[in-house]
Structure formats: C-alpha cells, structure tokens
Amino acid sequence: MKQPTSAASRIMMEMFWHQGSWAIGYLVIVFLLNLALGITGSSSNIGQDDFFSIIYRSTKGFMLVIGIISSFGFLSFYVRHGFTRRDFFKGAALAALLLSIAFPLVVGPVSLLLSAMNFSDTGNSPVLQAFEHNWFLALASFGIQIFVYYLMGWMIGSGFYRHDWIRGLGFIAIAIVLVGFMDALWQFELASLWDRWMPAFTLDVPLYASLAGSAVIMVLGLVLIRLLTRKVTIKLR
C-alpha cells in the first residue's frame, strides 16, 4: 500500500518545483547572454569571465534573494494552509539542498558544452584556475557556497519577518560575517555581493577543514532560522 506523502516532503517538492523554475529562467538568461557574446566575439569586453565563472559568482546573489523570498511568501502561504512551522522548516531546507545540488549538475555539463562549441573558454576560467582545474572540487565548492547563501537569505528574511528592521539589520551583519568566513575557508576571493565592504583574507587550511567549516556554518544558519521561525507570528498580508 502506498504511504501518503508527508507534509515536509510535499513542501519540499513544491518549493523545489517553483524555485527550480526560477532557476531555469535565470540560467537560460545567462546562457543566452553568454552565447550572444560568443557569437559576436564580444566576450573580451567583459574580461576573462567565462560562463562557469559568471554562474559561479552570480548564482550566490540569486540564491540569497530566493532565500529571502522563502521566509516571507512561502512561510505565510504554507502555515495559512494548515502546515506547521516545523514542516515548513524541514521542507524548505530540503528544497534548498536539492536546488544547491541541481545547480552544479546542470552548470557543469553546460559549461563544457559551451567550451566545446567555442562559445566559452573554460581553459582560462578564473574560477577553475583557482581550483587548479579540478572540476569536482569547483562544482562541490559551488554547491556548498550557494546553499550557504540561500540559508543566509532565509535567515535575514526570517529576522526581518519576526523582528523590527533595526534588529533585522543585525542578522545582515551575522550573514556578512558567516559568508566572509566561508570565503576565507575556500581560499578564493569572490566577486560576490560583499567584496566592496569586506577585506579579502584567506585561511590556509586543508580541504577537509574547509568542508568541516562550511558544515558548521550551515548548521549554525539552520539553527538560527529554526529559532526565528519556530514560534513566529504569521502575518496575514
């Protein structure tokens, strides 16, 4: 007999479907832009950035934004329709994880395809050079970092959702510190949202330490989100 789908699983699949459709639209736009630049020979005007480098950096902002959206629109929607805050937390976290896994699985082959068609030069990719052209490590780092950015957006949005704007600013500060620490763990100066406000620094640590440190940041982010949303008052509008 087929078991009924749990509430958290239903939320996970629905959110992954909605957010995944946004991600496809975002990827299509970047893909077409890169394709047009390759056809017209204008890629040199935007520096050495190839498709993978552009995606690697810009997706962080994309995930940050949809993380913020999840704390406002999705939370209110599901709780108003009878789901518990705990179910939403589990489902949204799993949906974010699935999306963070799906991005590298799609971006990697597309980057190689564009390179094979001479529309993008992965051989001179700044990101791949930083990872010594190790695709597995670059894609793993990509997935880990965009998941953290999603969590940071979710945490920031939850802070503003539950508290006033002054205390909400405190969660922005926490997110900046955590993202900066993660960047330092991966020894890569990111052209991300924070570069103009944060000094560049790195920590000379082995790979397992980078993974462990990133895991700590993820757990800390999830704990803070759970504390913020566990008994939050749902806004009607």
Sign of CA dihedral 163, 169, 174, 175: positive
Any idea where the domains of the chain sit in the sequence? 7-230
Q: Is the pLDDT of residue 9 over 80?
A: yes
d(CA 46, CA 19): 29
Confidence of residue 14 (pLDDT cuts 50, 70, 90): very high
Tokens 């759970």 belong to residue: 226
Q: How far is CA 131 from CA 1, 99, 126, 134, in A?
A: 49, 23, 9, 6
Beta-carbon contacts of 116 under 8 Å, excluding residues fewer than 6 positions away, are none
Residue 86 one-letter amino acid: R
pLDDT, residue 40, reads: 57
| Chain centroid to CA 128 | 19
The share of the chain scoring above pLDDT 90, in percent, equals 46
- Cα separation of 183 and 179, whole Å? 6
Per mean pLDDT, which range of 77-86, 136-145, 205-214 is the poorest? 205-214
Residue 215 has what pLDDT?
94
Give the pLDDT confidence score for residue 199 in this predicted structure: 54
pLDDT at 221 exceeding the cut of 90 = yes
| Residues making up the chain, counted from first to last | 237
Q: What is the pLDDT of residue 5?
A: 58
Residue 201 reports pLDDT greater than 60: no
Categorize the per-residue pLDDT at 38 as very low, low, confident or very high, splitting at 50, 70 and 90.
low
Phi then psi dihedrals of residue 197, to 5 deg? -115, -15
Over residues 123-160, the pLDDT tens digits come to 778 788 878 888 898 999 999 999 999 999 999 999 99
Using CB atoms within 10 Å of the CB of residue 4, give its burial: 0 to 12 exposed, 13 to 18 middle, 19+ buried.
exposed
10/84 Cα distance (integer angstroms):
12
Read off the pLDDT of residues 50-62 as tens digits, 9 standing for 90 and up: 888 889 988 999 9
Over residues 28-42, mean pLDDT: 73
User: Is the CB of residue 68 less than 8 Å from the CB of residue 136?
Assistant: no
- How much is the average pLDDT of 207-221? 90
Mean pLDDT score across all residues of the chain = 83
